[in-house]
Amino acid sequence: MEYQQRYRAYQEAIENYLHGLFTQDTPYGKLYESMRYSILAGGKRIRPVLTLEFARLGGLDWHLALPYACALELVHNYSLIHDDLPCMDDDDLRRGKPTNHKVFGETLAVLAGDALQPEAFRLIAQAPGLSAQSRIDAVEVLAKACGADGMVGGQVLDTVYGARDEASLTELNRLKTGAMIAAAAELGCVAAGMSAEQRSQAVEFAQQLGLAFQIRDDMLDVMGDEQVFGKPIGSDREEGKITYVDVRGLDGCAREVEACTARAKAALEQWEDHAFLWELADRLVGRNQ
């Protein structure tokens, strides 16, 4: 299947699945409204797409991996809601729209993020068509990626400690961004019952992809178009954050994105059907949003 056609098929399935969540009529309906505002705000859905593609590569009907893919997307969106709060990055825009707390207020935004995280694990626990062991393994992968030794640890390094050199930046982004992207790939492997070696290769691919993604994000914060990028340009500098651009410059960052992409592709070189993932990696090199 041609790249764009497959990507659209994955995106459509992800959007349909997410649209079916949190639709019940409840006395606390504003909570669901706030949760849906963020999870249905669009975006490239790179993380859940990775889950579905790795599940497909493992020989699984990828539709069965949708609960795993969308569980990770719930956690990702909870992190974005909290990341935008005044106590964190204090951002007004996300994906070109007002951030959650600007629409629903800080209290409900915090609670919407709080609710999305456990709901993610419920999706995994109730995933039909997958074994109990698969669901246990998936819970472990996602919990490790989003917990103290993953995304939250990275957020602490970002907001409490700050990064001042390339080594600390790399560790920060390995945890804050890379851990969740790596988990997305590994969840697809878990759903399909892949070997430990295949899981390791998938994680290496995704970690390198995640580093390239973050470096490109830092570049766009300097040179991007706010209307395309979907959030304010120059916000990192205004907040006094050190980024890869400060350490390497735009040209150095561009070279490192290319190098990370090459390492990502090399991790899957022995896989027979790697064309989709290689093209995905190549397309992220020059992304503008």
Tokens 């561009």 belong to residue: 254
Question: Is the domain defined by 3-285 classed in CATH 3.20.20.100?
Answer: no
Q: What is the mean pLDDT of residues 49-57?
A: 98
Token output for 134? 């698969």
Mean pLDDT value across residues 10-17: 98
Whether the per-residue pLDDT at 248 is higher than 70: the answer is yes
Question: Parallel, antiparallel, or unpaired for β 93-94 and 97-98?
Answer: antiparallel
Give Cα separations from 141 to 39, 190, 196 (angstroms).
Answer: 21, 9, 13
Cβ neighbours of residue 265 under 8 Å, at least 6 residues apart?
205, 274, 278, 281
CA 14 vs. chain centroid, Å, equals: 14
Nearest to 221 by CA among 238, 201, 204: 238
Query: How confident is the model over 65-99, as pLDDT tens digits?
Result: 999 999 999 999 999 999 999 999 899 999 889 99
Identify the pLDDT of residue 1.
64
Give residue 97's pLDDT. 93
SS (HEC) of 85-122: CCCCCCCCEECCEECHHHHHCHHHHHHHHHHHHHHHHH
Mean per-residue pLDDT of the chain: 93
Tens of pLDDT along 113-164? 999 999 999 999 999 999 999 999 999 999 999 999 999 999 999 989 888 8
| Whether the predicted pLDDT of 269 surpasses 60 | yes
Instruction: Output the pLDDT for position 15.
Output: 98
User: What is the average per-residue pLDDT within 28-54?
Assistant: 97
Average pLDDT, stretch 96-105? 95
Question: What single-letter amino acid sits at 277?
Answer: L
CB neighbour burial string for 226-236, b if at least 16 within 10 angstroms, e if fewer: eeebbbebebb
Q: Measured between alpha carbons, how far is 140 from 225 in angstroms, rounded to an integer?
A: 38
pLDDT for res 223: 84
Q: What is the mean pLDDT of residues 15-27?
A: 97
Single out the residue of 270, 259, 135 nearest to residue 201, CA to CA: 270
Dist. CA 209–CA 182, nearest whole Å? 9
Nearest to 236 by CA among 95, 101, 83: 83
- DSSP notation for 41-62: S----HHHHHHHHHHHHTTS-G
pTM of the model: 0.92
How far apart CA 157 and CA 11 sit, in angstroms, is: 32
Secondary structure of 113-129 in HEC code, one letter for each residue: HHHHHHHHHHHHHCCCC
Q: Which residues contact 97 (CB under 8 A, 6 or more apart)?
A: 41, 230
Taking only the tens place, the pLDDT of each residue in 188-234 is: 999 999 999 999 999 999 999 999 999 998 999 888 666 655 555 55
Please choose, from the candidates 37, 207, 189, the residue with its C-alpha nearest in 3D space to the C-alpha of residue 116: 37
Do the Cβ atoms of 106 and 173 come closer than 8 Å?
A: no
Going from N- to C-terminal start, the domains of the chain cover: 3-285
